[in-house]
Amino acid sequence: MRHQNLWAPWRISYLQGLVDEPAKPAQDQGPGGCFLCAAFDVPLKDEQKRQRMILLADERGSLMMNRYPYSNGHLLVSPKKHVADISDLSAQERSGIMALADLGNRLLRKAMHCQGVNMGMNLGRCAGAGVPGHCHMHLVPRWQGDSNFMQVCAGARVIPQALDESYAMLCEALAAVEKEK
């Protein structure tokens, strides 16, 4: 493996292939073929939610784990509406995804005990958006000294299992937070 960061070995090949990438990859064919829109398919059974790593999908938007994460616990927040830019959302829709970002932040701290969180959006393919047609926010949990730890300890093969475990922990934290309301 050429890339040192084993948590995201697919990222570098994606970036290397970026120039040749078609304008619209299969994952981003509008509401019909968009995995962010698919979170709102109703009714999703628990097993389907688990497979897609969806924590929550309601009128505000969706909160799910990224299956191609920068680090374990990497979350995605997206609006329900399939639009490329947050400027295409209403003020209410924008505050909806902000509420979900807040929830995601709390879940990461509760379930993953992270010490920090990177939160941000890539709008447009040249800005790094993997699904440029459906804007979404990334929440990446961070721990003191995490990049060193991951380079040394994490292997590509442990990722799927680690992601399943994290999903279960985040679901538990979500249930606890909902009970607190």
Residue 125 is a binding residue for Zn ion (CB under 5 A)? no
Q: Catalytic: 134? A: no
Beta carbon nearer to Zn ion, 34 or 121? 34
For residue 100, give Cα distances in angstroms to 13, 26, 81, 108: 30, 27, 15, 12
Q: How far is the CB of 142 from Zn ion (least distance, A)?
A: 28
Residue 134 is a binding residue for Zn ion (CB under 5 A)? yes
Q: How far is the CB of 127 from Zn ion (least distance, A)?
A: 17
Residue at 96: amino acid letter: G
For residue 41, give Cα distances in angstroms to 35, 52, 56, 138, 166: 10, 12, 12, 22, 23
Tokens of 157: 């093969």
Nearest-angstrom CA–CA distance, 124 and 110:
32
53 to 92, contacts with Zn ion by CB under 5 A?
82
Residue span binding Zn ion (CB under 5 A) among the ranges 84-92, 103-111, 128-136, 146-154: 128-136
Q: How far is the CB of 150 from Zn ion (least distance, A)?
A: 30
Cβ pair 53, 76 in contact under 8 A: no
Among the listed residues 74, 82, 136, 138, the single catalytic one is: 136
Q: Quick one: which of 8, 37, 54, 63 contacts Zn ion (CB under 5 A)?
A: 37
Q: How far is the CB of 33 from Zn ion (least distance, A)?
A: 9
**53: phi > 0 → left, psi -120 to 50 → alpha, else beta; which?**
left
Which residues of this chain interact with Zn ion, rule CB under 5 A? 34, 36-37, 82, 134
Q: Which residues are known to be catalytic?
A: 136
